[in-house]
Structure formats: structure tokens, C-alpha cells
Amino acid sequence: MEETISLRDLFQVLRKRLWLIAFIAIIAATISAVISFFVLTPVYQTSTQILVNQAKSEQQLYNAGAVQTNVQLISTYNDIIKSPAILDTVIEKLKLDGSAKSLSGQIQVTSAENSQVALITVQDTNAKRATEIANTTASVFQQKVPKIMNMNIDNVSILSKADLAASKSPVKPQPILNIAIALVVGLMVGIGLSFLLEYLDNTVKTEQDIENILELPVMGVITNIKDVPKATNVQRPDMKARVPQRGETFGS
């Protein structure tokens, strides 16, 4: 016997289990809100921009080949910025706890395509410390890159320094986004659980279930008999109570 489920049946299942779906979604959103606001530590982000060029000779003010070389060297500069040669000095200057490897995990160096500008982005649980790490990293790189590269690089410019005022608001966690995601996940879990419970429920509840299972029409339905109220002695207002005399019985 093949079973077919119509769209109406699906909506009926969702309607019957609507309380379960709503309950799971609310619980998921509440847990996400509690974790986002009270458990997770806020993370702040700040960034600084640097420009690195090779030294220009007096006879050669502009050379397209030199510019292309600088662009290709950007990826190398990115690795140098996150290397222990730079970060160990940053840790020493700022008296930070941890190693260069752990500090490297907080720093991200990116650059736009065909651009000589590198963006140093730092994330930390303290906004002031993140600003200091970004600015110090750029400064140390500016001092050490000529010696590390063993090249005539004397035109390292810091285009913009990290600003503490711009990093006052944490970038992680994002409570509204987390709650929205948890709400959607809760709805999906609730809907899935509703269909699972409906699939596992093989009890007969309505005459429609009997028709679907036996494929026979229902000839009659016995309704539920409500409880009959108990009989009470009600005295008519026009009847007065009379005490029977000796030798007299009621009805005589």
C-alpha cells in the first residue's frame, strides 16, 4: 500500500506540533543570547596601513618594472610581518605574554590585488592592546625590513595608524547574528522533530485515520458520552415542609 502525503497533510503536522517548534526555537535563541552576552569574551579589531617601496634613484623617478616588483614582493612582506623576527621584538617592546606563534594568530596581513599597500589587522580581547600591537608591528617592520631583505628599501611609509577610538566596539561575538542563526536552526530542528514524531506515531485518533489504514468508509461514529450530572433533590417553592404526625406516613 503506497502512502501519499499532500501539502495539506504537511501543514496539518506543522500546525499540530506548532508549540513544539516554537518551544525549541525559543530555547535555542535564548541559549545563544546567554552565550553571546555572558559567556563569550568580546574581541576588538583594529588595523594600520603601510606602503613599501624600493629606493628610487635620482635618474629613475618611475619605472613600471619596479612597481610590478614591489607588487610581487607584497606577499613576501606579509610573511615577514608575521615572522618571529618582527613579532619577538613587538612582544619585547609591549611586554606581552605568549609567543610569536600565538601573536601571529591574532594578526592578519592582506593587500588588494596589484596594490603596494599592506593592511595589518589585529584582533585582541583588549581594544587598547590591539591598537598598540598594530602600531608597534608596523613600526618594527619599518625599521627591520631593509636588513631582513638585504635590499635598498628606505621608503616604508605608514599610511594610517590604528586608532583606539575606531575600535571601541567589539567585532566578535555578534549577538544579533548569533541569535538569528540559532533561531533558524531551532526552527529546522523543531520541524524535523515534528515530522519524526508524526512518522513514529501509529495510533488511531480520528475516523480519517481508520479510512486511510483500512481503506474502508466509516459507517458511523460513537461520540463520547459526557458525565451525567448527579441527581439533586430540588424542593418546589410552593411546597412547605411538614413534619409527619405520630402514626402518619408520607403519601397518606
Return the higher-pLDDT residue of 206 and 124.
124
- Per residue in 11-40, pLDDT (tens digit) is 888 898 999 999 999 999 999 999 999 999
Give residue for cell 508549540. Answer: 19
Q: pTM of the full predicted structure?
A: 0.68
Q: Which residues pair with 44 in a beta bridge?
A: 124
- Per residue in 153-170, pLDDT (tens digit) is 556 789 999 998 888 889
The number of C-alpha atoms within 13 Å of 18 and in the hemisphere containing its C-beta is 4
Nearest by Cα to 69 from 145, 127, 151: 151
Question: What gap in Å lies between CA 167 and CA 133, rounded to an integer?
Answer: 13
